[in-house]
Amino acid sequence: MKINSSNHQRFHLLPIVIFAGLIIGIVFSWSRLTKQDSSQPSPIPTEITLYETFPISTQTATIDQSITSSLDEQSYSVPSIGKAVPNFSLITLDGNQVSLSDFKGKVVFINLWASWCPPCRLEMPDIQAAYEKYQTQDLVVLGINITNQDNLADARAFVEEFKLTFPILLDESGEVSAGLFLLLALPTSFFIDSEGILQRIQIGAIPTKNLDTYISEILPE
């Protein structure tokens, strides 16, 4: 039986045509996907790692020299869950000195933030709303700005933008944020019960659906 030569050639070319079609389809799909992805805004990260944001040498110099020497003088101990949080004092944005011990017997929600931190901006309206909701139940919210890694004018503008009414403390040396709390990422939050015991540490922005739960954990029954 004879096989037509033209049919035989087409038979051998068929896999090549199919393969070429697949390649073209893949390239076309990939180009569309890439174009679509590039047009979408990048999602806001849930946390900002400080060692990715600032030079390691700058961080090390700050911690090793000024912070460590001050910690030795004040005998800070690193707070851990289930343990009492050591007392500390900072100056507020209004120029008043505030100590953690001022709020003995109350539940305290401490939030460490910076004006340049996108996830800090993301969660701050929820924190202000929680403060307004729970302040009659003896909830104290303390926002600690890491002023040693921020700009005071920008921090003040941040507070005005979000209309924050809870106390804003300025950590101008890094003693409290980097020294006491060993801050590695922003934002970071600490939930302290009425006995002064640390109950929860949250690294990264607090999901809106979880904030009420975290606060209820430290409120008196």
What is the tens place of the pLDDT at every residue in 65-120?
333 334 444 445 568 999 999 999 999 999 999 999 999 999 999 999 999 999 99
- Does this model's pTM top 0.75? My answer is no
What is the tens place of the pLDDT at every residue in 164-216?
999 999 999 999 999 999 998 999 999 999 999 999 999 999 999 999 999 99
H or E stretch covering 180: none
The Cβ-side half-sphere exposure at 77, using a 13 Å CA radius, reads: 7
Residue from 146, 154, 142 nearest 171 by CA: 146
Residue from 47, 68, 61, 55 nearest 182 by CA: 68
Residue matched to tokens 């929680």:
130
